[in-house]
Structure 1
């Protein structure tokens, strides 16, 4: 098998990973499969609200304007893309390797007031079919982490942006030193082959040609608040079990045991905004 064939096989496996886990995750987080943001241990926000805070923090760094064309790379079940269309009047194309996510996102779009501005497609962001310069902006919420070849996917996102186009993404990063076995369990659960530091993330972007314009490290309010996630999720446990069954919910929980293995400061969370240079 060629290297490209290996990448395609890995993309298919990642798609299967999300097909299996996204239905219950979709229900828990209202169509947003990325992380949460809790201000402190007294924060009583429902889980969907805490997850929506990350959505807003990252999408706001794009500076979207009405009519702009946006690629949501690794779009999940659609809530984020639809939200960008509704809030900013942007035209959004969501791409994912999960068949479930394409179907669920399309259902959401049809039921929304911005459905005519949003399209969801099955596709691999390692090899996008769009011409160079297609998009004004690209969003990637915790999707770059799963790329088999990080340099290749960042290069693809750079290619499909017009000169002056923006990229904003959020992802996990290396945090404080800690037990390596705990970190290994976390990475295995999320199918991560790497965990760059904030500076290493920036270096990857610069190597592709991007100019870094803004970044933040908010790990203490994200994975550092995993106890708040568990509390918020347990508040909906009975409701979710009634819909999917106890067996499915137990399996979902077991699949995520490794996610909570690291110490709370061992894994960071970065938000980075960058730009493709103007001509």
Structure 2
């Protein structure tokens, strides 16, 4: 028994070390004075200053953040509607088609997705004149197509475990379906919506393959710019940029975790009060 516990602890430590030691090394070397990223030349913050003077990286970062925010918001709205239809409307004509279309991007290779979307945009431009060329609009639509599937699965899973008695009680009291959704259903599934938004934001911010297919001149996202620079050799300002992104992601995850924990405690407290009232 003791040997089994030691083995599992060793595997756990090795797994976390394998994941996080490279990230920690990257952060440490972002403060390296030397231009060579693998040779420590002393402590310095000069690369953070040079990063702020690099307009190409800053413009690409701002573009990626804007696309990711729009994509995450749109994916949450559409994914919530799709998840609600699949979880609550039972069997209806086209359910299988809707389920397959919303979950296909989960198993489809990104190369195929990017190529098919590129062909779609080319045909649409030839037939309707929109979208005019490839740029921010096409990248946002492509990312929304991908992340919509993740939000749909998350929301559908949350709705399938939701207690219907709360909504039924509200309907018995005369509440309209729209009011039931916004007052009862939406607050309950809010943690799932937040998780879907953060996941969509992260996937969009990290995507390289699909964006490479559907982007055009002047719409290079941050992963595209970093990939083009890394092919020429890793520079210390890229380490500085990666460290900033890690910091922002860590803050976002901790904030979301605290919010979700508070929401869960509030939900359990309300359930205990309701049980006590009975």
When normalised by structure 2's length, the TM-score is 0.23
Higher relative contact order (CA 8 A, sep 6+): 2
When normalised by structure 1's length, the TM-score is 0.23
Instruction: Select the structure of larger CA radius of gyration.
Output: 2
Greater fraction helix: 2
Greater fraction strand: 1
